[in-house]
Every structure is written in C-alpha cells, then in structure tokens.
C-alpha cells in the first residue's frame, strides 16, 4: 500500500542513489514545500546538502528571521542566507507585467543560487551538482508539464527557468498534493508551524503589487499583510482558510477622508480563500467583525491606504493570486 512512510523510504533511497557522493543545494522559501523537500533530502544525504535562503526583499514581515530560526532549529541543516534585495528590486524596476515579473524573479533566483553554489563549491568537498526544489503536482500540471493542461501562469519553480541552468533538478514532491506534503513533513518531525504553514508564492509580494514593485510599496504591503495575518490568527481562523493573499493596487487610487483631510490613496485587497489543493478555490466567508477589524486597523495604521476591499471570486475564474 501507498503510505507516506513508503514515499519517504522510496524517495530517500532514490535520492541517495542519484546524488552518490556529490552535493546538493536547496533553496528555502520559508514555505512548507521547500522545507519538506529539504528535510527529505537531508534525511537522504545529510551534510551533503546545503540550504540557501535568498532574501529577495519580497518576503512578508518577520519571515526571513523565522526561516533562520525555526527551520534550522528543527532540522540542524546547514543554511546560507543571501541578502539579494537590491539585486531583485533593480531587476524589477519599471516592470508591471505579471509574467515578466515572474520570469525576472525566477531568473534572478537561479542566478543567485549559482552564485551561492560557486561559493559553496569554493569550499573543500565534492561537486555541487544538484538543485532541490519543492515542486508539487499541481505546479507541474498548471505549468503544462503534467497532463498537457494549458500553461496558466509560469510558476517560478517550474517555468521561467533560464536556458543556462547549471544544476540537475531533484523534485521529490513532484507527484504529491499539499496535504500529502504536510503528512510527510509531520512524519519527518518538522514542527507544526512549518507543517501547517499556509502557502506563499515563490515570487512573494512581487506578484501581490499590481503595478511596479518598489521598496516603499513593499514596506506598505508588508504592514497591511502583517495586520491581516495577525487578526486572522487572533480570530483562530488560520486552519479554516487555505491562504489569504493581501494585494496592493498600486496603480489604483481613490478618494477618501482620513482625519480632517481629503486623501487620495491606494486600495488593499483581501483575498481569503478555501481550497483543497489550490487547483480550485472558493472565497472564504470570513466573519464580518474580523473583516471590519482588519479594515479599520489597515486604514488606521497604514496611512497610504484609504480603502480595503474583499475579493469574492472563486477559482476559476479568478486565480488565487492576482498576478
Ligand atoms: P494561483 O494564483 O495560480 O495560485 O491560483 C495557486 C497556488 O500557487 C501559489 N503560487 C505559487 N507558488 N511559485 C510558488 O511556489 C509561484 O510562482 C506561485 N504562483 C502562485 C499560490 O499562492 C496558490 O497557493
């Protein structure tokens, strides 16, 4: 029978054989997918794995610190943190097209890994030939790599890879759905906060700003997102929703009145969804009082935002992310 224990054993054996005495690197995104993929590969090859965390400046508030602390504490994995914020923001300057943003972020990710690899290779030891990725079955299908489904978005960890990719890929979760990945994480002894982490896209807040991505806009969105997450957690709703993207409509402005003056600010969109596997989704019927608290706090605490709107679209036709 097909159990998570079997999957782990099979993958561990396969990874060991594939990697041999070479080394692998794995990009940690902070999400459950890359964490479980890394933990699985670490179980297989131990210190032959080095994890790399790219701080692309598109993460949510506190997320980088959480990866550095929680994941390392849980697994004892070797972690290299690369601060690449400036590089990503420079590459994204002036870009507004969603697919172009995704391609740029995917490309820069690989470049930064290659740089990190060069540094790791410069250490003593065997060659680093493999790159571990937490690609799931739905990612494969949606990128047209699975059953021939049309390419909907080029997910950065599947499509959008540059031609000059220098690694062989290890994708141990490629046949699995999210709930199965969580079971594997649990089986591998990862802490609850990691195993039950809501999904967050690789391109991060870069695809949650409709319009050009700038540091100022990111900081503003980070504040709004942190408020929404805080209130959802306080209301005990984390397990009821699949995820709740918070989106900044940077190219839209509307008139408001705050304090004793007219404002001309930006809207924030709340996109709470319920889903089984992200292939389809429905908008979450959140309690009105929770929505009200989020709205009041965001407009009070983030001065550039004067309006909070709720996305009530299912998937299809709307995707979960706005870009
Ligand atoms: P969509 O927007 O396509 O999202 O309905 C489906 C799920 O995938 C996440 N997502 C991504 N995850 N890299 C990722 O690792 C990506 O480029 C990416 N784009 C979307 C999204 O958050 C949702 O859970």
Q: pLDDT tens digits for 133-158? A: 999 998 888 776 544 444 455 555 54
Q: What mean pLDDT comes out for the span 88-101?
A: 98
CB 196 within 8 A of CB 35: no
The predicted pLDDT at position 156 comes to: 52
Q: pLDDT tens digits for 167-188? A: 899 999 999 998 899 999 999 8
pLDDT surpassing 90 at residue 106? yes
Question: Between 101 and 73, whose confidence is greater?
Answer: 101
The predicted pLDDT at position 68 comes to: 86
The predicted pLDDT at position 87 comes to: 98
Question: Between 109 and 321, whose confidence is greater?
Answer: 321
User: What crossing angle do the helices spanning 4-19 and 32-45 adopt, rounded to 10°?
Assistant: 60
The predicted pLDDT at position 145 comes to: 57
Confidence of residue 70 (pLDDT cuts 50, 70, 90): confident
Percent over 70 (pLDDT), the chain: 93
Among protein residues, the one whose CA lies closest to atom 22 of ligand 1: 201
pLDDT surpassing 70 at residue 322? yes
Confidence of residue 213 (pLDDT cuts 50, 70, 90): very high
Distance 321 CA to ligand 1 centre (A): 7
Complex ipTM tops 0.95: yes
Averaged pLDDT of the chain? 90
Q: How many CA atoms lie within 13 A of 165 on its CB side?
A: 16
Q: CA 114, CA 109: separation in Å to the nearest integer?
A: 9
Q: Is 179 annotated as a binding residue?
A: no
Distance 229 CA to ligand 1 centre (A): 18
Question: Between 261 and 29, whose confidence is greater?
Answer: 261
Phi–psi pair at 198, nearest 5 degrees:
-75, 150
Among protein residues, the one whose CA lies closest to atom 17 of ligand 1: 155
Q: CA 205, CA 221: separation in Å to the nearest integer?
A: 8
CB 27 within 8 A of CB 131: yes
156 lines ligand 1 (CB under 6 A): yes
User: Which domains are seen in the chain, by residue range?
Assistant: 4-195 (3.40.50.620), 208-310 (3.30.300.10)
The predicted pLDDT at position 164 comes to: 56
The predicted pLDDT at position 309 comes to: 98
The predicted pLDDT at position 148 comes to: 40
Give the atom of ligand 1 at the shortest distance from the alpha carbon of 318.
5
Q: What mean pLDDT comes out for the span 67-92?
A: 91
Confidence of residue 1 (pLDDT cuts 50, 70, 90): low
Distance 96 CA to ligand 1 centre (A): 18
Which pair of structure tokens corresponds to residue 198? 């809501």
Distance 47 CA to ligand 1 centre (A): 30
pLDDT surpassing 50 at residue 69? yes
Please say whether the dihedral angle defined by the alpha carbons of residues 56, 62, 68 and 72, taken in this order, is positive or negative.
negative
Q: CA 201, CA 225: separation in Å to the nearest integer?
A: 14
Length of the chain: 323
Instruction: Give the N- to C-terminal CA distance of the chain in Å, as an integer.
Output: 40
Q: pLDDT tens digits for 272-294? A: 999 988 999 999 999 999 999 99
Angle at 320 between CA 28 and CA 214, to 5 degrees: 65
CB 237 within 8 A of CB 290: yes
Q: What mean pLDDT comes out for the span 70-90?
A: 91
Contacts with 262 (C-beta within 8 Å, 6 or more apart), sequence order: 255, 256
Q: What mean pLDDT comes out for the span 120-127?
A: 82
Q: What mean pLDDT comes out for the span 15-21?
A: 96
Distance 159 CA to ligand 1 centre (A): 12
pLDDT surpassing 90 at residue 166? no
Among protein residues, the one whose CA lies closest to atom 10 of ligand 1: 201
Q: What mean pLDDT comes out for the span 243-257?
A: 97
134 lines ligand 1 (CB under 6 A): no
Q: Is 34 annotated as a binding residue?
A: yes
Q: What mean pLDDT comes out for the span 230-249?
A: 96
Q: What mean pLDDT comes out for the span 58-77?
A: 87
Confidence of residue 189 (pLDDT cuts 50, 70, 90): confident
Distance 155 CA to ligand 1 centre (A): 7
pLDDT surpassing 80 at residue 38? yes
97, 102, 187 from 211: Cα distances, Å: 8, 13, 41
Most informative mutation of 32, 141, 201, 247 for ligand 1 (most atoms within 8 A of CB): 201
Contacts with 271 (C-beta within 8 Å, 6 or more apart), sequence order: 244, 245, 246, 247, 283, 311, 320, 321, 322
225 lines ligand 1 (CB under 6 A): no
Give the atom of ligand 1 at the shortest distance from the alpha carbon of 200.
22
Among protein residues, the one whose CA lies closest to atom 24 of ligand 1: 199
Among 256, 27, 223, which Cα is nearest to 131's? Answer: 27
């Amino acid at each position: 029978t097909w159990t998570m224990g079997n999957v782990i054993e099979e993958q561990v054996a396969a990874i060991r054989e594939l990697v041999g005495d070479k080394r692998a690197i794995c990009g940690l995104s902070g999400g459950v997918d890359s964490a479980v993929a890394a933990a699985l590969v670490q179980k297989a090859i131990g210190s032959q794995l080095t994890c790399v965390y790219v701080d692309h400046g598109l993460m949510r508030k506190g997320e980088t610190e959480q990866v550095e602390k929680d994941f390392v504490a849980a697994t004892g994995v070797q972690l290299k943190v690369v601060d690449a914020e400036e590089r990503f923001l420079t590459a994204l300057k002036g870009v507004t097209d969603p697919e172009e943003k995704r391609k740029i972020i995917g490309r820069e990710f690989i470049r930064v890994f290659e740089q990190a690899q060069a540094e790791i290779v410069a250490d003593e030891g065997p060659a680093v030939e493999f790159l571990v990725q937490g690609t799931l079955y739905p990612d494969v299908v949606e990128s047209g790599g699975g059953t021939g489904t049309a390419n909907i978005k080029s997910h950065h960890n599947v499509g959008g890879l540059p031609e000059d990719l220098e690694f062989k890929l290890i994708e141990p979760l490629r046949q699995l759905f999210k709930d199965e990945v969580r079971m594997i994480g649990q089986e591998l002894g990862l802490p609850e906060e990691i195993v039950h982490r809501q999904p967050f896209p690789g391109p991060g807040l870069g695809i949650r700003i409709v319009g050009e991505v700038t540091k100022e806009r990111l900081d503003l969105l980070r504040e709004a997102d942190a408020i929404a997450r805080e209130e959802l957690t306080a209301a005990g709703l984390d397990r009821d929703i699949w995820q709740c993207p918070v989106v900044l409509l940077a190219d839209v402005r509307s008139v408001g009145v705050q304090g004793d003056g007219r404002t001309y600010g930006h809207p924030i969109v709340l996109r709470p969804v319920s889903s089984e596997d992200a292939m389809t989704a429905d908008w979450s019927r959140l309690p009105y009082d929770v929505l009200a608290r989020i709205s009041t706090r965001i407009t009070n605490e983030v001065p550039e935002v004067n309006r909070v709107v709720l996305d009530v679209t299912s998937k299809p036709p709307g995707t979960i992310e706005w870009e």
